[in-house]
Structure 1
Amino acid sequence: MPKIVNHDQRRLELVDATWRIIARHGIEGATMREIATEAGFANGALKPYFPTKDHLITFAFGHVFNRTNQRIADTSAGKVGMEALRAFCQEVLPLDEDRINEARIVIPFWQKALTDPVKAELHETSMKQWRSALEGHLRRARDRGEVTVPTQDDDIVNQLMSMLLGAQIVAAMSPGEHLPAQLSDQLDAYLLLLNPAAQGARS
């Protein structure tokens, strides 16, 4: 009998191989031949799944986004308000090698999205989902008295998004200079500013 191929599993194997190649050689070194070899497939076996590297990068971005969302759901379970807000941010920040490699996938996608409307729309839809989640956690935190600053919620969400996405760029470019503990401390320092009374109690 012919072997039954799990196509979804094969796509994920190719994305994982892409991850490893980009981590070692950068996006320019991630040729389709290198990716196929890394995944243990013949070069031609990629074309039915990803006709070009461009298709592969797009799929990889979606995979990274979904993977991050699953981590967020797992770590946020049972948490509300500020605790849930912090858990969300912690899972987006590049705090380990896997998340730094995710950033190395996302950054080339951003570059492509600058001139590709389809990719730009995918990115914007994904970021709107994150903004909506952050806004929800922030509202609950205000209701619980955990956020007291008069700063508009939209501005706080924009600041958090800039921090999270900027950290991905910085960690991917200079991983040895921006340690996970530093990123966590920076996040906690910012979140503390959202409640001056709590900040005074800790000082």
Structure 2
Amino acid sequence: MSSLKTKPAWLCLFWESGVNSEYRAELAAVAIGEWSEMIINLLNEAEEDGTLRSIVDIENTAGAFVGFLQGSQIDAVMGPHEFNPDRLTKQLDAYLDLLAK
């Protein structure tokens, strides 16, 4: 039971370290920027292939997808039994189905 109490504190400390450490904040920003760029490229490729649903703004869709991925990471850390790989994969598939034609 005590391990359950430390997870939220650990997660808060993780995000707080990004707020209080310029280096860690920059590291997170670079990683998120790389994710966003990769997702934008993939969405552009899907649009060119004709497999992407009509989306007005690919950049905002990529931003929403990055938010989904960050939330999935938190779910996996906070509830690894409930948010197991099978469930997370099904959630990812459902999200991607929303984008496909």
TM-score with structure 1 setting the length: 0.42
- Residues 114 and 120, structure 1, Cα contact 8 Å, conserved in 2: yes
**Matches of 1:108 and 1:131 in 2, distance apart?**
25
In structure 1, the partner of 2:50 is 145
In structure 1, the partner of 2:26 is 121
In structure 2, the partner of 1:111 is 16
One-letter code aligned to 2:73:
Q
Identity %: 28
- Within 5 A, what are the aligned runs for 1:20-59? none
**Matches of 1:111 and 1:179 in 2, distance apart?**
26
Report how far residue 148 of structure 1 moved: 2.1
**Matches of 2:54 and 2:91 in 1, distance apart?**
18
**Matches of 1:135 and 1:191 in 2, distance apart?**
14
- Residues 148 and 194, structure 1, Cα contact 8 Å, conserved in 2: yes
TM-score with structure 2 setting the length: 0.80
One-letter code aligned to 1:170:
D
**Matches of 1:107 and 1:147 in 2, distance apart?**
36
- Residues 135 and 153, structure 1, Cα contact 8 Å, conserved in 2: yes
**Matches of 2:12 and 2:62 in 1, distance apart?**
21
SS of residue in 2 equivalent to 1:114: helix
In structure 1, the partner of 2:71 is 166
Report how far residue 117 of structure 1 moved: 1.8
In structure 2, the partner of 1:191 is 96
**Matches of 2:12 and 2:65 in 1, distance apart?**
18
User: How many pairs were matched up?
Assistant: 95
**Matches of 2:39 and 2:98 in 1, distance apart?**
16
Structure 2 residue runs without a partner (length 5+): none
> Which has more helix, going by share of residues?
2
Larger Rg: 1
Structure 1 residue runs without a partner (length 5+): 1-22, 28-103, 198-203
Report how far residue 107 of structure 1 moved: 7.2
